[in-house]
Amino acid sequence: MPFILFPLLLLAVCLGFTGTAAAETWPDADWPVQPAAPGAAVAAFENYAFPPRDDAERRGVRSDAVVVIRDGVLVYERYAGPTGAASPHLVWSVSKSLLACLLGVAYGEGRFRLDDPVARYYPPFAAHPDIRLRHLLTWTSGLAWTEDYESAPLTSSVLAMLYTRGRQDMGAFVAGHAAAVAPGTRFSYSSGDSNALAAALKGMLGAEEYADYPWRALFEPLGITSAVWERDATGTFVGSAYAYLSARDLARVGLLMLRDGRWRERQLLPREWVEFNRTPVSVYRPQGSGAVPGGHWWLNRDVAGAARPWPDAPEGTFAALGHWGQALYVLPEDGLVIVRFADDRDPSYRHNDFLRLARAAFGRREEH
Amino acid sequence: MRRRHLLLLSIVLLVIAVIWPNRAHLAAFPDIIGAYTAKEYCSCRYVTGNSADYCRAYTRQYVPIDFLHDDPGLRRVTARGLGRSHSAAWLGPREGCRLLSEMEPPPEF
C-alpha cells in the first residue's frame, strides 16, 4: 500500500508545484495587461479617485496616477495632471519603505543584525550607544525630534534637515539631536530615524558600493528602470523622502512584498525580514485612526483593542505612505497591489474609502 | 517708571523664555522658503520632467518668493524668499537634484 501511495503522493506534490508556478504571473520588461471590465464599481472608484481636478485652489482629492495589479497582472491604470506612465513621481515617505527593502537585501547578505548598535556602522551615533538598528527601523530611537511639515515650520526637524541646518549632512544632523527617552520605549515617527538608517547602510557597504546599491540590490532585480534617488552633499541617500519612480515601477516593489520578498524564484528579502516589516511596533499605542507602524511599513492591524485603521480592507493589508497622498498598498488576501500618486494639499483623501472602492472595482470576485 | 521697568522685564523674560531656546530655529527659518523652492522646483523640472509653469505652481507655498531663476542649460535653479537665496542643481540621472552649499559658487547670470 505505501509503495503505491508514495509515487501518487509525489506526483500530486509535483503537479501542485508546477500548477502554482504556472498560475503565478510576473512582469517582464513591462506588465502583462488585462483591463478590468468597465462597470458601476469602476465608475464609483473613478468618481472618488479622479474627481474634477482643482488646480486653482488645490482642494480635494487630486490623484496623479493609479495603477492596480491583481495577481501579477495590470488591471487598471489612469494618470492625471502632468503625470504619465513613464513619469518618475516623487514618492516622499514611501522612500522609507523602499529603504527598508534595501536594508532587507543587506540583511539577507549578512551585513548586519537588528540588535547591532547604530554606532557600529555610523560613528556619529557614538553619542547614542544604546540606539540599535531595530530602534531606527521601528521609529523608536527616542531622539528629541519634531516631525512636522507645513504646520509648524519654525520648529520642524524635518524642514531643518531637508532645507537648512541639516541638508549638507543629514545623518550628522540627526545624530546631533539629544535623547528624549530611552531607545525602544516610545514610538515617534521620525524622518530622522530613517535618514540615520540610510547613513548606517553607507557604513555597512562603503561609499562606493553604497552609491549603486539601490540599483544593484533592488531596482535592477525587479526590472525597475525609472528610479532616481537624491542624496545629501555627503552622498547619503535621502532615505526619508527623495526617491522617484513611475507608478508601474513602484508596483513591482508591491508585488515583491505581496509575494513575501520573493521575486520569481529568488528570495530577495528574507522571509523573516518581511515578517519584521509586517509586525506592529510593540510599544505603539493607537493614536487616532492612523495606520499602525511596522518595521518601516504601515499596517492595517487592530492593536491594543483599537479598531483597525482601514476597516473596509483586510487585516493583512499593509502600505508604504508618503506626504500629499503617495501610497503603495499591498492587499495579500485580495492579491492586489495598488499604487497611488497624488498632489493632495488638504486632508480630504481617505485611505479606507479609496481601498473599499478599489476592492469593489478590482477585487477577484469581480470576475465571477 | 515702574511701568517701564515692568515692560523691560517682560521683554527680557520673553527673550529668555521664547527666543533664546529657539534661536537656532529662528536663525534658519528665513532660509526654508528659498531652499524649498529651489530644490523642489529643480526636481520637478529635471527629475520628473514637468513644465516650468507646472513647477512654479507646484512649489507655491503660503510664504511668497521674491525671485526664481531657472537656467535650463546648467539645470540650476536659484530662488529667493524672505531675503535669502538658495540654489539647487541637477547632478545626474540617478542623483537628481541637490541643494548647493553656500560655499559653492553662485550661478552666473
CATH assignment of the domain containing A156: 3.40.710.10
In a domain, A21, yes or no: no
Q: Which amino acid is at A70?
A: R
Q: How far is A81 from chain B (nearest CA, A)?
A: 9
Minimum-distance CB partner of A163 among B22, B36, B96 = B36
Element (H, E) at A69: strand A63-70
Contact A76, A362 (CB under 8 A): yes
Distance CA A349, CA A121 (A): 39
Say whether A159 and B51 touch across the interface (CB within 8 A): no
Name which of B23, B26, B29, B42 to mutate to probe chain A: the one with the most chain A Cβ atoms within 10 A of its Cβ.
B29
Is B28 within 8 Å of chain A by CB? yes
Taking the model in full, what pTM does it have? 0.91
Where helices occur in B18-94 by DSSP H, the ranges are 23-28, 31-46, 52-58
**What's the distance, Cα to Cα, between the start and end of chain B in Å?**
56
Angle at A197 between CA A231 and CA A189, to 5 degrees: 100
In a domain, A24, yes or no: no
| A contacts of B30 (beta carbons < 8 Å) | none
Is B96 within 8 Å of chain A by CB? yes
Q: For residues A114, A120, A125 and A131, what is the CA-based torsion angle, rounded to 10 degrees?
A: 30
Distance CA B61, CA B32 (A): 11
Q: Which domain holds residue A194?
A: 40-367
Say whether B48 and A89 touch across the interface (CB within 8 A): yes
Say whether A55 and B97 touch across the interface (CB within 8 A): no
Q: Which amino acid is at A142?
A: G
The structural domains of chain B, with segments of one domain joined by +, span 30-109
In a domain, A331, yes or no: yes
Nearest CA in chain B to A213: B94
Nearest CA in chain A to B34: A163
Nearest CA in chain B to A151: B62
In a domain, A298, yes or no: yes
What is the average pLDDT score of chain B? Answer: 89
pLDDT tens for chain A, 368 residues: list them: 444 544 444 444 444 444 445 579 999 999 999 999 999 999 999 999 999 999 999 999 999 999 999 999 999 999 999 999 999 999 999 999 999 999 999 999 999 999 999 999 999 999 999 999 999 999 999 999 999 887 788 889 999 999 999 999 999 999 999 999 999 999 999 999 999 999 999 999 999 999 999 999 999 999 999 999 999 999 999 999 999 999 999 999 999 999 999 999 999 999 999 999 999 999 999 977 799 999 999 999 999 888 999 999 999 999 999 999 999 999 999 999 999 999 999 999 999 999 999 999 999 864 44
- Extract the C-alpha cell encoding A207: 561609499
Nearest CA in chain A to B102: A168
Handedness of CA A151, A155, A156, A161 (dihedral sign): positive
In a domain, A339, yes or no: yes
Neighbours of A151 (CB within 10 A): 6
Q: In the A/B pair of chains, how many CB contacts fall below 8 A?
A: 76
Distance CA A326, CA A332 (A): 20
Distance CA A282, CA A184 (A): 9
- Report the domain count for chain A: 1
Give the 3-state secondary structure of residue A170: helix
In a domain, A28, yes or no: no
